[in-house]
């Protein structure tokens, strides 16, 4: 049943590149809005002027769009005009709105000017630490008479901050995901600053003023915000607005159960993109970070995820990030790409390998195309193409002599085998250079010499590719072509046969 009264939002701070947690939160809001026929808006919380940049804005917006996440209200590109009935959707363009709201709270005595200096607050904190008490505002300015305020102002000579009065009691809400949560306001650290002395409004305040002004009905965000929600509820009440429904998504955890952090884990969406995770795979995986359709289906396109998404089925427990599953899912999506689309998407990764010297040249599309039948099903990521078949485009392949000699063999046997294999293959012309033509005579060679076919094939594999893991050997020889195969067998034979090199 479409419900146009549902309004949700993602409100990133452009103080870093798009984080996997932000992408997951954006996705769940988007899925919820699209599933119920509500509205999804994007708001930039850019009041931390020192750390916010236009580059991070661009990174966040581009990254979300790349994943297929679009919004109904907000900017569509960095620096773009905002669109929607509640514009502007960037907080630095809304300062007058926060000023009006804080003046209103002060006039109603729900907030008050606070003249405490950093030194005073520091001394309070130290005294509390020494007494093993949690940090809390002591209330020095909470109940000043007008003349006391004047005296404090004269004493500090600086404009006061604005502090919000935290009422005693319990604040509770029925969380969409975590059921009932109640927090005693004595645990909130006392009255808190909503506007700094220099006029900068702070996060707890701006987020509430905006969620109220933008008529947000459901605030769906990470579990790390649970401790902020009571402050927000108190502010909604003080401002006289309806309190939205809150839903807190499970944290994304490392496989060892610790919190995924910028320092310890790979958290930037860009880094996954650079590794060749494709949007279809990544967005499918992000949807499973804390949710599942309750069926066996794993590979789901975004429109089907929207159709199946059920916020009530979001898990309470932390969502462990499983790179193996991400790679598997990404591989499944790579297999589903049309050949030309895959070639287009591989090109930048091949170009990057040319740029950093891992391969010698960029293969033409008609060289990559014929490889797809063996390559496509083996790629966990796009970038893996270089490891898988990059050896095809290396001019002077350097083969490690230690690698080319199979475990059970010595260099002399290897040399003999490579020379014999080369001679057998040389008997083929380009017309019979086909996988099923090349295999039988080499098997026969192994049999006549009493070698294990696996050892012979491994020696040939390393000789022509430099690697022990490649696509199937005979497909690889076909892709290399007759001349390159013969030349590489010759030079590898020379490498193992020449003691000075070893
Ligand atoms: N700007 C906040 C953040 O990035 C928004 C939090 C919220 O959704 O309320 O964490």
The domain defined by 337-393 carries CATH number 1.10.150: no
In the chain, ranges of CATH 3.40.50.620 domains: 7-91+253-320, 94-249
Give the rounded percent of residues in the chain with a pLDDT score beyond 70: 99
Check whether 502 has a pLDDT greater than 50: no
In the chain, ranges of CATH 1.10.10.350 domains: 401-496
Check whether 501 has a pLDDT greater than 50: no
| Alpha-carbon distances, residue 195 vs 89, 93, 306, 463, 487 (angstroms) | 20, 16, 39, 69, 74
Q: What is the pLDDT of residues 280-316, one digit of tens each?
A: 999 999 999 999 988 878 899 999 999 999 999 999 9
Q: How many CB atoms lie within 10 A of CB 185?
A: 17
In 165-270, DSSP assigns E strands to 170-175, 179-184, 192-195, 218-222, 245-249, 252-253
So what's the pLDDT on residue 451? 97
Q: How far is the CA of 433 from the centre of ligand 1 (A)?
A: 61
- What is the architecture of the domain spanning 401-496? Orthogonal Bundle (1.10)
In the chain, ranges of CATH 1.10.8 domains: 337-393
Q: Which atom of ligand 1 is nearest to the CA of 25?
A: 8
On average, the pLDDT of the chain sits at 95
Residues with CB under 6 A from ligand 1: 11-13, 45, 207, 221, 225
Q: Considering only CA atoms, which residue is closest to atom 6 of ligand 1?
A: 11
Q: Considering only CA atoms, which residue is closest to atom 10 of ligand 1?
A: 12
Q: Taking residues 269-276, what's their average pLDDT?
A: 97
Tokens representing 501?
């090199």
Q: What is the pLDDT of residues 195-231, one digit of tens each?
A: 999 999 999 999 999 999 999 999 999 999 999 999 9
Question: 94-249 sits in which CATH class?
Answer: alpha beta
Q: Considering only CA atoms, which residue is closest to atom 4 of ligand 1?
A: 12
Q: How far is the CA of 323 from the centre of ligand 1 (A)?
A: 26
71 Cβ neighbours under 8 A, 6+ residues apart: 10, 30, 40, 41, 42
Q: What is the pLDDT of residues 433-479, one digit of tens each?
A: 999 999 999 999 999 999 999 999 999 999 999 999 999 999 999 99
The set of catalytic residues is 262
So what's the pLDDT on residue 1? 56
So what's the pLDDT on residue 498? 52
Phi/psi of residue 490, each to 5°? Answer: -65, -45
So what's the pLDDT on residue 500? 44
So what's the pLDDT on residue 264? 82
Q: What is the pLDDT of residues 138-169, one digit of tens each?
A: 999 999 999 999 999 998 889 999 999 999 99
Q: How far is the CA of 12 from the centre of ligand 1 (A)?
A: 6
Check whether 78 has a pLDDT greater than 80: no
What percent helix, strand, coil does the chain show, rounded to 5?
A: 50, 10, 40
Question: pTM of this prediction?
Answer: 0.92
Q: Which listed CATH number (3.30.1330.10, 3.30.930.10, 3.40.50.620, 3.40.50.1220) goes with 7-91+253-320?
A: 3.40.50.620
């Amino acid at each position: 049943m479409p419900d146009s009264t549902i309004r949700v939002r993602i409100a990133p701070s452009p103080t870093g590149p798009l984080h996997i947690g932000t992408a997951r939160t954006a996705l769940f809001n988007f899925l919820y809005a699209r599933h119920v026929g509500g509205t999804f808006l994007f708001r930039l919380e850019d009041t931390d002027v020192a750390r916010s940049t236009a580059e991070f804005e661009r990174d966040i917006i581009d990254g979300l769009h790349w994943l297929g996440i679009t919004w109904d209200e907000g900017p569509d590109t960095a620096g773009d005009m905002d669109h929607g009935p509640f514009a502007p959707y960037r907080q630095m363009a809304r300062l007058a709105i926060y000023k009006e709201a804080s003046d209103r709270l002060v006039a109603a005595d729900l907030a008050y000017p606070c003249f405490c200096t950093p030194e005073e607050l520091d001394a309070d904190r130290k005294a509390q630490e020494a007494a093993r008490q949690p940090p809390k505002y002591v209330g020095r300015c909470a109940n000043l008479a007008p003349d006391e305020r004047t005296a404090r102002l004269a004493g500090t000579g600086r404009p006061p901050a604005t502090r919000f009065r935290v009422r005693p009691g319990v604040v509770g809400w029925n969380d969409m995901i975590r059921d009932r949560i109640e927090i005693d306001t004595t645990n909130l650290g006392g009255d808190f600053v909503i506007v700094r002395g220099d006029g900068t409004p702070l996060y707890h305040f701006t987020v509430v003023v905006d969620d109220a002004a933008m008529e947000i009905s459901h605030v769906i965000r990470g579990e790390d915000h649970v401790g902020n929600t009571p402050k927000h509820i108190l502010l909604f009440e003080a401002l006289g607005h309806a309190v939205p429904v809150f839903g807190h998504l499970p944290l994304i955890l490392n496989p060892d159960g610790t919190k995924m952090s910028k320092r310890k884990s790979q958290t930037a969406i860009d880094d996954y993109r650079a590794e060749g995770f494709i949007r279809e795979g990544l967005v499918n995986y992000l949807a499973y970070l804390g949710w599942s359709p309750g069926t066996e289906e794993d590979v789901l396109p975004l429109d089907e995820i929207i159709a199946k998404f059920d916020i009530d089925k979001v898990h309470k427990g932390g969502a462990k990030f499983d790179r193996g599953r991400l790679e598997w899912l990404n591989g499944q999506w790579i297999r589903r790409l049309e050949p030309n689309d895959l070639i287009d998407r591989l090109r930048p990764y091949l170009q990057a390998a040319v740029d950093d010297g891992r391969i010698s040249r960029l293969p033409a599309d008609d060289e990559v195309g014929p490889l797809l039948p063996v390559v496509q099903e083996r790629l966990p990521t796009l970038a893996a193409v270089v490891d898988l078949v990059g050896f095809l485009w290396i001019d002077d392949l350097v083969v490690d002599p230690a690698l080319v000699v199979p475990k059970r063999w010595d260099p002399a046997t290897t040399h003999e085998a490579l020379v014999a294999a080369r001679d057998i293959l040389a008997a083929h012309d380009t017309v019979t250079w086909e996988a099923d033509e090349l295999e039988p005579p080499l098997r026969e060679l192994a049999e006549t010499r009493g070698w294990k076919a696996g050892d012979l094939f491994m020696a040939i594999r390393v000789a022509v590719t430099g690697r022990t893991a490649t696509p199937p050997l005979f497909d690889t020889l076909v892709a290399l072509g007759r001349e390159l195969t013969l030349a590489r067998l010759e030079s590898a034979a020379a490498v193992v046969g020449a003691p000075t090199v070893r």
